Amino acid sequence: MKTKLVEQAQETAALIKILALGDRQVEEGKVQSVVSVFQRLRERGTKGRIAAP
Higher pLDDT among residues 16 and 47, named by residue: 16
Query: Rounded to whole angstroms, how far apart are CA atoms 53 and 46?
Result: 14
CA distances from 38 to 5, 26, 49 (A): 41, 19, 11
> What pLDDT shows up at residue 47?
53
Domain ranges of the chain: 2-46
pTM of the predicted model as reported, rounded to 2 decimal places:
0.58
9-45 per-position pLDDT tens digit: 999 999 999 999 999 999 999 999 999 998 988 888 8
Query: Rounded to whole angstroms, how far apart are CA atoms 2 and 9?
Result: 11
Query: Rounded to whole angstroms, how far apart are CA atoms 23 and 15?
Result: 12
Higher pLDDT among residues 48 and 14, named by residue: 14
